[in-house]
Amino acid sequence: MNRIVWVFGQSAAGKETFMKYAVANPGCELMRQLGYANAKIIPVFGYPVSGCPEFDYDKTDKIEIVLDLIKKETNAVILIKWQHYDTGHDASISNLTKLKSLAYNTQNEIICLSVESDVLYARLADKPWFDEKEAANFSRKKMETVVETMRGNIRKYLTIGFKLAAEIDATNGYKVIGNFL
């Protein structure tokens, strides 16, 4: 059975790194805990990713990619890197709900990555797009608001049939820490 798994997390939480880790370590304890160990793990970024040329989709729409994978695969965990624009302003018109309605026979899950604030801010400074102008957008207060908004959006998705697979501490490695709801 295929699964669609949206990997949520604020900027610098390590969504892309987590997905690469899952591909490189499909039989690890974390993948067993999530129930993914016996499946083919396929990341979908929706844009070119260095170090992952086999999954370089050349900016193809995420929904098209996933629908194509569902047709081809029978036991895959399709990890999708969530971005703010995937959520939209209304849960009923987001990329998540569009894909869920188009792939209605496929289980839809969410993984939420969390990172301790000091580590998160250090990671942000290493982002190629981060500069002094961007620093104002990433104050602790704004980041807390972003996290709460993201978690509120996840709660909305749970009410329409998504499953929260886990919240994972991605501060130093990966550890399932439970459920924030």
Question: Tens digit of pLDDT for each residue in 23-82?
Answer: 999 999 999 999 999 999 999 976 544 444 444 444 457 888 999 999 999 999 999 998
Q: How deeply is 49 buried, as exposed, middle or buried, from its count of CB atoms within 10 A (0-12, 13-18, 19+)?
A: middle
Give percent of the chain above pLDDT 70: 82
Distances (CA, A) of 45 to 53, 74, 119, 159: 11, 20, 23, 25
- Residue 4: in which H helix or E strand, if any? strand 3-8
Average pLDDT, whole number, for the chain?
83
- Alpha helix segments (H runs only) across 10-167: 15-24, 29-34, 62-72, 84-87, 95-102, 117-125, 132-135, 140-159
- Report how far Cα 60 is from the mean position of its chain's Cα atoms: 17
Pairing state between β 3-8 and 107-114 = parallel
Determine the pLDDT at residue 129: 74
The interaxial angle of helices 62-72 and 95-102, nearest 10 deg, is: 30
Determine the pLDDT at residue 91: 54
DSSP state of 94: S
The region of weakest confidence among 27-31, 118-122, 135-139, 164-168 is: 135-139
Closest by CA to 116, choosing from 6, 10, 7, is 10
Domains of the chain, earliest start first: 3-178 (3.40.50.300)
Average pLDDT over residues 165-180: 87
